[in-house]
């Protein structure tokens, strides 16, 4: 039975053992899990089987960004392994996103396909350095509209941009927001952050939370504290 929780816990670990150790302390009825570049590069698809076997739905966060055919193949490979969600970079452009979506449709695969807009670790000065003069908010809007028009099911964005994107793209368009910091956690390297309840009120559909849960002494207690913040407790 898939969870109704909006919480996606980021398993940012350097080994399969460490990741599974954390997964075994979490409950698949209360969160989904995200597997990112470091863990997947070390463990390969074995981690997906291990997490699926434990009853978790998995967001495979490899942020594909390449020529259209290559990305379409990578997205198909991810979806065939049964992941719940996979992502690409919206800055890869319309043809890349359309090719990825088309491949899933052709193959009858129902994995959610979303696009990263502007990373939550980036602010205006970082964009300027790579030649983008727009503000992060404007650039996120531009990329979200492009992602929607290219057939994406949603975007990864900061919760600070979620309400504007709800107006622009509607509430069914997924808004997966990292940079979530519950009242008990430090911002760390994140720049565009928001508290869980504020992020949901702003229009996030899913919240990606890493270190506030995975580095807590009691991860399930941290998750329960976030659930309580979400329910207004
Ligand atoms: O795609 C992502 O998940 C992502 C996009 C983004 O813009 N910012 C961002 O932090 N993330 C991921 O979200 C997670 C955030 O982890 P914490 O900062 O520890 O909560 C990490 O796994 C990041 O890779």
pLDDT digits (tens, 9 = 90+) for 87-137: 999 999 999 999 999 999 999 999 999 999 999 889 999 999 999 999 999
Show which residues are catalytic: 61, 63, 66
Whether 22 and 13 have beta carbons less than 8 Å apart is answered as: yes
CA 76, CA 54: separation in Å to the nearest integer?
23
- The response to whether 62 counts as a known ligand-binding position is yes
| Domain presence at residue 189 | yes
Confidence at residue 83, expressed as pLDDT on a 0 to 100 scale: 98
| Domain presence at residue 231 | no
Q: Which DSSP category does 164 fall into?
A: H
Q: Is the ipTM of this complex over 0.85?
A: yes
Q: How far is the CA of 26 from the centre of ligand 1 (A)?
A: 19
- For β-strands 154-156 and 112-116, DSSP reports them as parallel
Confidence at residue 232, expressed as pLDDT on a 0 to 100 scale: 85
| Domain presence at residue 232 | no
Determine whether 184 is exposed, middle or buried from the number of CB atoms within 10 Å of its CB (0-12, 13-18, 19+): exposed
Q: How far is the CA of 178 from the centre of ligand 1 (A)?
A: 5
| Domain presence at residue 1 | no
When divided into structural domains, the chain yields a total of 1
CATH of the domain at 203: 3.20.20.70
| Domain presence at residue 151 | yes
State the average pLDDT over residues 167-187. Answer: 93
| Domain presence at residue 2 | no
- Domain of 112 in residue numbering reads as 7-226
CA 192, CA 217: separation in Å to the nearest integer?
25
Handedness of CA 79, 21, 55, 220 (dihedral sign): negative
Give nearest CA residue, ligand 1 atom 22: 10
| Domain presence at residue 195 | yes
Residues in the ligand 1 pocket, defined by CB under 6 Å:
10, 12, 36, 61, 116, 119-121, 156, 178-179, 188, 190, 208-212
Strand pairing partners for 86? 60, 113
Question: What secondary structure, in 3-state letters, does 29-95 show?
Answer: CCCEEEECHHHHHHHCCHHHHHHHHCCCCEEEEEEECCCHHHHHHHHHHHHHCCCCEEEEEHHHCHH
Ligand 1 atom closest to Cα of residue 181: 20
Confidence at residue 189, expressed as pLDDT on a 0 to 100 scale: 80
Q: How far is the CA of 212 from the centre of ligand 1 (A)?
A: 12
CA 219, CA 11: separation in Å to the nearest integer?
12
Which of 147, 195, 210, 214 is the pocket-test mutation for ligand 1 (most atoms within 8 Å of CB)? Answer: 210
Give the residue ranges of DSSP H helices in the chain.
16-23, 37-43, 46-53, 68-80, 94-106, 124-129, 136-149, 162-169, 196-201, 211-214, 219-230
Place of tokens 């992060």: 136
State the average pLDDT over residues 9-24. Answer: 97
How does residue 233 score in pLDDT terms, banded at 50, 70 and 90?
A: low
Tens of pLDDT along 144-154?
A: 999 999 999 99
| Domain presence at residue 233 | no
């Amino acid at each position: 039975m898939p969870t109704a929780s909006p919480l996606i816990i980021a398993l940012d670990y350097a080994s399969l053992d460490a990741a599974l150790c954390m997964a075994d302390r979490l409950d698949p009825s209360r969160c989904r899990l995200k597997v990112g570049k470091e863990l997947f590069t070390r463990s390969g698809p074995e981690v997906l089987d291990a997490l699926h076997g434990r009853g978790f739905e998995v967001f495979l966060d490899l942020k594909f960004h390449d020529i259209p055919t290559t990305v379409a193949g990578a997205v198909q490979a991810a979806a065939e392994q049964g992941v719940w969600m996979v992502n690409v970079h919206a800055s890869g452009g319309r043809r890349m996103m359309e090719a990825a979506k088309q491949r899933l449709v052709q193959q009858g695969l129902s994995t959610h396909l979303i696009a990263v807009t502007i990373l939550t670790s980036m602010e205006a000065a970082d964009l300027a350095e790579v030649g983008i003069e727009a503000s992060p908010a404007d650039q996120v809007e531009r990329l979200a509209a492009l992602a929607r028009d290219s057939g994406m099911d949603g975007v990864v964005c900061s919760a600070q941009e979620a309400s504007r994107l709800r107006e622009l793209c509607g509430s069914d368009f997924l808004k997966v927001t990292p940079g979530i910091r519950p009242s008990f956690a430090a911002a760390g390297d994140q720049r565009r952050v928001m508290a869980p309840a504020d992020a949901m009120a702003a229009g996030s559909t899913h919240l990606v939370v890493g270190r506030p849960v995975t580095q807590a002494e009691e991860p399930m207690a941290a998750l329960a504290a976030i659930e309580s913040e979400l329910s207004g407790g």
